[in-house]
Amino acid sequence: MNDIANRISGLVDMLLEDYKSDRAIDEIKHFSHPEKKTVIDILEKLRRLVYPGYFRNENYRIYTVRNNTTMLLEDIIYNLIKQISMVLPYREEFLGADAITINSEAERITFAFLEQIPKIREYIETDLQAAYDGDPAAYSKDEIIFSYPGLYAILTSRIAHELFLLGVPLIPRMMTEHAHSLTGIDIHPGVTLGKYFFIDHGTGIVIGETTEIGNNVKVYQGVTLGALSTRGGQSLRNKKRHPTIMDNVTIYSGASILGGDTVVGKDAVIGGNAFITSSVPAGARVSIKTQELLYSFGSSKQISKTDFENADNWFYVI
């Protein structure tokens, strides 16, 4: 036992010495970084505010809407002010600011954010309707609220986006990456989403920070709305790097649409696996040219060929 204790002590000494290397990973700030568990808890409580009749809080035994809403808000306000206070020093103007100044700004941001909840609810109602109208496999709106990863990712994005617009560092990204880890849908909090946004299936979707999406847009699994290149690194920050998707666009699975100057016009349909780096006119139907299937029949060497180039629906890969 003494030998193990000595070896543990030696390992501790080794690590403590390694922590002195003055690297980013060597920082020890237990009480000045946001708490991931708390941020996720705030997100889940905000979801209860958005859907007041769907997700019961087992910690609360008073079931009137007013009392539950009051307790949820009190909890969210206390914790969100605390978490925002921790991250505000990431903004240059608050670096080195005193605690009273930081707390006052965190309080202002928290209440400004919570005043956007009715707007978030207005938009998420349209997203719910779009999912129901657009998916014949949906048998009820309750089914969508409880089980559709796309709607969860969209709601998280809408919540995080409002915090992003208010200049909150880090926390919005923590929220959307939590949704990403649960759903496989990666939406940066900077993304601007219109009404009636529908993500069907969802796995593998990536939507970059400066993407703008209009109303009545439908996106299937595996779609990337990304940047043409990130080789410029930090010099590209705050520049339009991702595409603009206008109203009533449908983007089928596996499509990639890249570039800040790329605009997909109103009513366009982007076929599965299309790779787009320039703008698409309104009403266009984009598909991959000369798709064909070849069937061979055993040793007879007889081949049957199906050419999809002129087909109406081959690229609707769902």
What is the tens place of the pLDDT at every residue in 87-125?
999 999 998 899 999 999 999 999 999 999 999 999 999
Query: Which residue has 């206390």 as its token pair?
Result: 78
* φ, ψ for residue 143, nearest 5 deg: -60, -40
Round the average pLDDT of the chain to a whole number and report it. Answer: 89
Amino acid identity of 293? L
Decide: residue 196, CB within 10 A, 0-12 exposed, 13-18 middle, 19+ buried. Answer: buried
Does the pLDDT at position 30 exceed 80?
no
Segment 140-157 shows an average pLDDT of: 96
State the CATH class of domain 191-318. Answer: mainly beta
**Region of poorest pLDDT, from 27-31, 105-109, 273-277:** 27-31
* φ, ψ for residue 225, nearest 5 deg: -110, 95
DSSP helix/strand/coil, 220: coil
Does the pLDDT at position 71 exceed 70?
yes
Cα dihedral: 161, 163, 168, 172 (round 10):
-60
Considering the chain, tell me which residue range(s) the CATH 1.10.3130.10 domain(s) occupy: 30-184
Decide: residue 5, CB within 10 A, 0-12 exposed, 13-18 middle, 19+ buried. Answer: exposed
CB atoms near residue 60 (< 10 Å): 13
Give the confidence band of 304 by pLDDT, cuts at 50, 70, 90. Answer: low
With left for phi above 0 and alpha for psi between -120 and 50, is residue 309 left, alpha or beta? alpha
Considering the chain, tell me which residue range(s) the CATH 2.160.10.10 domain(s) occupy: 191-318
CATH number belonging to domain 30-184: 1.10.3130.10
What distance in Å separates the CA atoms of residue 150 and residue 219, rounded to the nearest whole number? 10
Segment 151-177 shows an average pLDDT of: 98
Q: Kindly provide the b/e burial profile for residues 252-268, where b requires at least 16 CB atoms within 10 angstroms of the residue's own CB.
A: bbbbbbbbbebbbbbbb
What distance in Å separates the CA atoms of residue 77 and residue 106, rounded to the nearest whole number? 10
* Measured CA distances, 264 to 141, 189, 195, 215, 310 (Å): 30, 21, 17, 13, 22
Query: What is the pLDDT at residue 205?
Result: 97
Does the pLDDT at position 291 exceed 90?
no
- 126's tokens: 């349209």
* Measured CA distances, 164 to 96, 176, 223 (Å): 22, 11, 23
